[in-house]
Amino acid sequence: MYDIHDLNRRRNEIMQRSVAIDYSAFEFEGIGFDYDALMRSSGYTYEDIVSIQSASMVGRTPLVELKNITDYARKFAKPGMGARILVKDEATNLSGSFKARRAAISVHKAKELGYKGVIAATSGNYGAAVAALAAKHGLKCIIVQECFDSRNVAQPEILEKARACEAYGAEVIQLSVGPELFYTFLHLLDETGYFNASLYSPYGIMGIETLGYEIAEEVNRRFSRHPDVVVCTNAGGGNLTGTARGLRRYGADTTQIYAASVNLQGLHMASDHDFNRKSFTTGHTGFGIPFTTRPDRSDVPRSAARPLRYMDKYFTVNQGSVFFITEALSVLEGMERGPAGNTSLAVAFKLAQSMEKDAIIVVQETEYSGAGKHHQPQLSFAKSNHIEVKMGNPISEVPGKNIILPSSGRLLDIQEIALDSLRRSYLKHFDLKHLKEQDLRFLQEELQVKTNHLEALIASLGGVVHERTT
């Protein structure tokens, strides 16, 4: 058994050793750090990333125009409205999701540096991606899952992903909900000396940049223009961050980046009672909001996933609407895909109705489906946990009590989260009465705001700006 106090004392040392990055080299005096220097520290060029992924059967996935879904959305739009909806079919990657892009770089780095194995803490597709890439490169792999509640009951989607990890030869350690996940993970890193294939390292984010670049490149090749909007399912923030950076690398600076999460407001992700009262294991507000407003709560000292730097809008959608669009994608397009990518598709379906017909909206990922990831076992599991499943107005859904499927695409709706509310939540983690010039410059970049806007946010929280930034 491990000593929690000792692990807490040595956590930064363990984390830095496990990713071979000296994070202290990037710290500013004050609250900020040199984000761009951290991203450059990987030592890889963009061309290196493309080459590494290509050698691992990752990347260059199809960009599919969803003509039937687009036509369906136009049924509920005003004349002349109804943007074209396209999707980047990431289910065709090795391991079946965009997470293979992240894993390819992390596992390659581990191999390059001479680590004997890799560890990832995830109940999601990333575990399968890390396990698959580790197998391909001959490395040992341990996946740590938050799996059960106190009744020893696990969600079908989590069990499905565990089976996938084991199929690739990984050792899967399954834990009950609570803080033991992080400490077990930290202990294993310390004990094994394996590489931390973190979702939040520069390697993990750089792996997603190719996804954004490919979207911009192919839309320009086919339509001679940039996409108007790219919708990213948002959980830990790396998906959105990497995609946005890739779009900008190509030059698609006018493309709007929208975040999408399933609304699980009122459910606590670390609650034993709430753990199995949700029907989504990722891409929901239980991860999306905390990691947006406090990105450094991750398994590395400084997260490379900084979604507020890049998102232009943030939308939520209810669980029932995501299940609805999942079935629509299968029935109308012949594409059976898993739930996480369909979160952004549900948001795109609604947004397209208020955009002009010649506009282009891209859903930037899909994921594989399977026995436990399909919406039918998820709905059956919800019923077994006394969650009411019914048809109706999805906006009235109460997470943990019911799942409301829209009876028609006309009823599917979304809600926007005000970015300033997220920015204030971010700022609350700091002492706002002693900010220096360098702090203010960092916050402007971090929150994607101009000087006067930042000062107004700080003043609304009782802070004082003593030095103005330019």
Q: Which of 388, 217, 422 is nearest to 310 (CA)?
A: 422
In the predicted model, is pLDDT for residue 423 greater than 60?
A: yes
Mean pLDDT of the chain: 95
345 and 390 together in one domain: yes
**Across 86-96, average pLDDT:** 97
List CB contacts of 265: < 8 A, sequence separation 6 or more: 285, 316, 399
277-331 confidence digits (pLDDT tens): 999 999 999 999 999 999 999 999 999 999 999 999 999 999 999 999 999 999 9
149-160 confidence digits (pLDDT tens): 999 999 999 999
Q: Give the distance from CA 378 to its chain's centroid.
A: 20
User: First-to-last CA distance in the chain?
Assistant: 53
Whether 11 is in a domain gets the answer yes
Domain termination site, one of 144, 175, 202: 202
In the predicted model, is pLDDT for residue 239 greater than 90?
A: yes
Domain termination site, one of 202, 230, 248: 202
117 and 183 together in one domain: yes
168 and 263 together in one domain: no
Q: Which of 338, 334, 405 is nearest to 367 (CA)?
A: 338
What whole-number distance in Å separates Cα of residue 60 and Cα of residue 92? Answer: 9
Domain termination site, one of 155, 183, 202: 202
145 and 235 together in one domain: no
pLDDT of the residue at 466: 61
Whether 210 is in a domain gets the answer yes
379 and 306 together in one domain: yes
In the predicted model, is pLDDT for residue 354 greater than 70?
A: yes
What percent of the chain is modeled with pLDDT above 70?
Answer: 99
Which domain, by its residues, includes 158? 4-52+97-202
Whether 75 is in a domain gets the answer yes
What percent of the chain is modeled with pLDDT above 90?
Answer: 93
Whether 137 is in a domain gets the answer yes
173 and 70 together in one domain: no
**Which residue in the block uniquely carries the two structure tokens 């890889």?**
44
What whole-number distance in Å separates Cα of residue 400 and Cα of residue 284? Answer: 13
293-307 confidence digits (pLDDT tens): 999 999 999 999 999
Whether 42 is in a domain gets the answer yes
Q: Which of 313, 325, 373, 368 is nearest to 349 (CA)?
A: 325
List CB contacts of 180: < 8 A, sequence separation 6 or more: none
Whether 279 is in a domain gets the answer yes
Q: Which residues pair with 230 in a beta bridge?
A: 257, 362
63 and 42 together in one domain: no
Whether 178 is in a domain gets the answer yes
106-124 confidence digits (pLDDT tens): 999 999 999 999 999 997 8
317 and 391 together in one domain: yes
What whole-number distance in Å separates Cα of residue 346 and Cα of residue 329? Answer: 10
What whole-number distance in Å separates Cα of residue 83 and Cα of residue 228? Answer: 9
What whole-number distance in Å separates Cα of residue 223 and Cα of residue 228? Answer: 12
**Across 327-353, average pLDDT:** 97
pLDDT category at 470 given cuts 50, 70, 90 is: very low
230 and 308 together in one domain: yes
Q: Look up the CATH number of the domain holding residue 255.
A: 3.40.50.1100
349 token code pair: 């379906």
pLDDT of the residue at 373: 87
Host H or E run for residue 28:
none
Q: Which of 344, 332, 385 is nearest to 75 (CA)?
A: 332
160 and 125 together in one domain: yes
298 and 362 together in one domain: yes
Whether 422 is in a domain gets the answer no
DSSP class of 297: G
**pTM reported for the whole predicted model:** 0.97
pLDDT of the residue at 56: 96
265 and 366 together in one domain: yes
In the predicted model, is pLDDT for residue 147 greater than 50?
A: yes
R_g over Cα of the chain: 21
pLDDT category at 463 given cuts 50, 70, 90 is: confident
- In the chain, the number of structural domains is 3
